Amino acid sequence: MSITLSRISRRTVAAFAVALLTLFVPAVSLAAPFDRLSQLQRDADALRDDGVTGVSVTLETPHGVRTVRSGVGDLSTGQPVAADGYVRIGSATKTFVAVVLLQLVGEGRLSLDDTVDGWLPGLVRGHGNDGRRVTLRQLLQHTSGLPDYIGDVVPDLSAVGYRANRWATYTSRQRVALAMQHPPSFAPGSGWEYSNTNYVLLGMVIQAVTGHSWEYEVRARILRPLRLTRTLTPGNWPFLPGPHARNYQQFEPGGAVTDTTIAYLPFDADADGSVISTNTDTNRFFTALVQGRLLAPTQLAEMQRTFEVPGDRGFPPGTRDGLGLFWTPLSCGGGYWGHSGDGFGYLVWPATTSDGRTIITVSLHSRPGDESSATRQHQDVTTLVDHALCSARRSPTSI
């Protein structure tokens, strides 16, 4: 989801409402009159007109692949958004981690009912947090109640703060320790609250079970089998490989934008949100997942057992959370699976139909500083996805 939904904790959001930069930039493709542009292009242009510096969309259906771009990939040069360029996928990383964890469940090496303390003894303690009461399922589904560490690694939400702190590195253990300085949101299993700490812990559990880092297991179990050659687990390497669009963050309403293409390592470098990919690779991953090429039927069914997301959390109405996978309803009936991700200056929104035959990934390359723009841009993204998936169902050759 947007930074308000996935990467930044609710207490941080209170200090920093995200929105998109109200900056007009020309569309990449305006060769045809407006009424002759595809709906997909019009929806991408609507995001540009609402302030996104650069937009890239890749839609795949049984009838082919459609890619549209709008805006620019570099404000200083006016260069177009890179075609299928590298992007940070933020919290979509969590789905990769969840797949590895569920594969281990299928292999009988752990259980979803195992406690955190059973694998990471004594790590989750303090201020009412107790890993003996938190299960792996609750981590996967954000029903653990564990506090989010994100607010502790963003001490200064400003351009100056970004530049001063972006190189700071933390171990997973240090991130968890920061979270343990705060009380839980609720008793384990009694509510729902998105917390990046959950997936930092799951990355640590994967290492405890396998003896390998979660990155190693993602590469061995997902990237190599699916031949996702343009998906990377960069760790503390902060740069995007080329080609890529530049990312821009507006840190206060009406303020200047800051180039945030360099990762903010305090929260861009762990199992909760560090993967780099492309729209095409992201589509391939989610397609393979829902089509059962990564998980056995029992584990995929577990992943798709959902919990209703409370209506006041900023997610689209009707959203439900599985195990590292969200379900969102469509206006034409049914819904789609996916897991968006974001950070300073970027947002990626993948969405696939249940059969994996129609899949779209939307990438935005700027984030703003006012809440009204955030709401508007969030609606633009969900509208684009809804139009694309519903149109593909009704008339797949006319998108």
pLDDT digits (tens, 9 = 90+) for 179-232: 999 999 999 999 999 999 999 999 999 999 999 999 999 999 999 999 999 999
- Whether 12 shows a pLDDT value over 80: the answer reads no
Contact 29, 330 (CB under 8 A): no
Distance (Å, rounded) from C-alpha 242 to C-alpha 213? 26
Distance (Å, rounded) from C-alpha 281 to C-alpha 348? 12
Token pair belonging to 228:
């996702």
- Whether 57 shows a pLDDT value over 70: the answer reads yes
* In-domain check, residue 4: no
pLDDT at position 399, please? 63
Full-model pTM:
0.91
Distance (Å, rounded) from C-alpha 4 to C-alpha 17? 7
Distance (Å, rounded) from C-alpha 94 to C-alpha 282? 13
Catalytically annotated residues: 91
Distance (Å, rounded) from C-alpha 52 to C-alpha 2? 13
Q: pLDDT by residue (tens digit) across 107-126?
A: 999 999 999 999 999 999 99
Q: What are phi and psi of 340, to 5 degrees?
A: -80, 170
Amino acid making up residue 237: W
Token pair belonging to 238:
């902060």
pLDDT at position 24, please? 33
* In-domain check, residue 2: no
For residue 186, give the CATH number of its domain: 3.40.710.10
Residue 360, beta-bridge partner list: 59, 351
Distance (Å, rounded) from C-alpha 98 to C-alpha 303? 8
Q: pLDDT by residue (tens digit) across 363-396?
A: 999 999 998 998 899 999 999 999 999 999 887 6
pLDDT at position 7, please? 53
- The stretch 61-89 carries a mean pLDDT of 96
Kindly state the greatest CA–CA separation across the chain.
64
- Whether 4 shows a pLDDT value over 90: the answer reads no
pLDDT at position 34, please? 39
Amino acid making up residue 397: T
398 pLDDT tier (thresholds 50, 70, 90): low
- Whether 295 shows a pLDDT value over 50: the answer reads yes
- Whether 161 shows a pLDDT value over 80: the answer reads yes
* In-domain check, residue 1: no
* In-domain check, residue 3: no
* In-domain check, residue 337: yes
Domain range holding 96?
10-394
Distance (Å, rounded) from C-alpha 70 to C-alpha 338? 23
Q: pLDDT by residue (tens digit) across 252-278?
A: 999 999 999 999 999 999 999 999 999
- Whether 336 shows a pLDDT value over 60: the answer reads yes
How many domains, the chain? 1
Token pair belonging to 256:
């200047």
